[in-house]
């Protein structure tokens, strides 16, 4: 079976119908486990004190904020190249989840920054590129809402997504490009060096897995809703013209 069969809305609806519920349940279990484990059963950090507990929300949300935009980039490219409507609707469906994740990352970062850095905000490369990513999310959603013709909206938002991808990647790698700024290096990386102690790592891993599954559940649910909304729109137009 070809991957492109999922571009058929009927096939997409049939397959995802079985995935959404279990994804929600598993996401709930993992996030609850990770947060309870991290909040109640991990020690304070020797430098950060109890604010280290904010990591269980900040890191997964920041990670998702960037990766959701990358997912939107991929689905936007699929729309631009192959004109599959489901992929354009999946990008549209992902944006409100992405903006929520970006907001959580900015908010928890600011709340953590005040006691640790002595300020809620600094024009640090990573923070600034994250703020611009947040504005791109808002602009992307506003553009979808502003254009009535869905295909034109999908075309223009896809172009916006391509442009915004620069900031999504920049917010991921800004700490490596510039050595200035307050934000520390990545908590998660593929290098062999230990960036985070195991005692914090395992509950963090549960939270990350939970956030990924929550995104999958939400984006599938929202894409299904967009497909139904488009069908509803088509019926309404047919009723008017009949």
Partner 1 sequence: MPDLGAYAFEVSLAYAGSLLALGIVIWASVARAARVRRTLDEAEKRWSNKNG
Q: Which residues in this chain contact partner 1 in the complex, by CB under 8 A?
A: 35, 39-40, 44, 49-51, 53-54, 57-58, 61, 96-97, 100, 103-104, 107-108, 111-112, 114-115, 214, 218, 221-222, 224-225, 228-229, 231-232, 235-236, 238-239, 242
H or E, element range at 32: helix 20-41
Residue 179 Cβ vs partner 1, minimum distance, rounded to whole Å: 27
Which positions ≥6 away from 21 have C-beta within 8 Å? none
Q: In this complex, which beta carbon is closest to partner 1, that of residue 5 or of residue 44?
A: 44
Residue 22 Cβ vs partner 1, minimum distance, rounded to whole Å: 15
Q: In this complex, which beta carbon is closest to partner 1, that of residue 119 or of residue 176?
A: 119
Question: Please, is 214 exposed, middle or buried when counting C-beta atoms within 10 Å of its C-beta (0-12, 13-18, 19+)?
Answer: buried
H or E, element range at 171: helix 150-177
Residue 195 Cβ vs partner 1, minimum distance, rounded to whole Å: 21
Q: In this complex, which beta carbon is closest to partner 1, that of residue 190 or of residue 242?
A: 242
Angle between helices 20-41 and 55-82 (to 10 degrees): 150
Q: In this complex, which beta carbon is closest to partner 1, that of residue 83 or of residue 228?
A: 228
Residue 143 Cβ vs partner 1, minimum distance, rounded to whole Å: 19
**Pair of tokens at residue 236:** 């309404």
3: alpha, beta or left? (left if phi > 0; alpha if psi -120 to 50): alpha
Q: In this complex, which beta carbon is closest to partner 1, that of residue 81 or of residue 232?
A: 232
């Amino acid at each position: 079976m070809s991957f492109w069969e999922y571009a058929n809305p009927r096939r997409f609806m049939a397959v995802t119908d079985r995935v959404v519920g279990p994804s929600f349940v598993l996401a709930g279990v993992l996030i609850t486990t990770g947060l309870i484990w991290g909040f109640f059963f991990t020690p304070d950090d020797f430098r950060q004190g109890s604010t280290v507990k904010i990591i269980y929300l900040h890191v997964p949300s920041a990670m998702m904020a960037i990766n959701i935009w990358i997912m939107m980039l991929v689905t936007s490219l699929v729309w631009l190249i192959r004109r599959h409507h489901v992929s354009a609707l999946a990008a549209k469906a992902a944006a409100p989840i992405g903006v929520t994740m970006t907001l959580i990352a900015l908010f928890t970062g600011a709340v953590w920054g005040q006691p640790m850095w002595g300020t809620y905000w600094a024009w640090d490369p990573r923070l600034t590129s994250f703020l611009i990513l947040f504005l791109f999310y808002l602009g992307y959603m506003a553009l979808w809402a502003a254009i009535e013709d869905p295909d034109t909206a999908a075309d223009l938002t896809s172009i916006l997504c391509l442009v915004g991808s620069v900031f999504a990647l920049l917010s991921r790698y800004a700490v490596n490009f510039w050595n200035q700024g307050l934000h520390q290096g990545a908590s998660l990386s593929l290098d062999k060096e230990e960036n985070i102690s195991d005692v914090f790592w395992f509950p963090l891993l549960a939270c990350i897995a939970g956030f990924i599954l929550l995104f999958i559940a939400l984006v599938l649910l929202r894409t299904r809703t967009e497909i139904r909304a488009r069908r509803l729109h088509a019926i309404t137009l047919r009723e008017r013209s009949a």
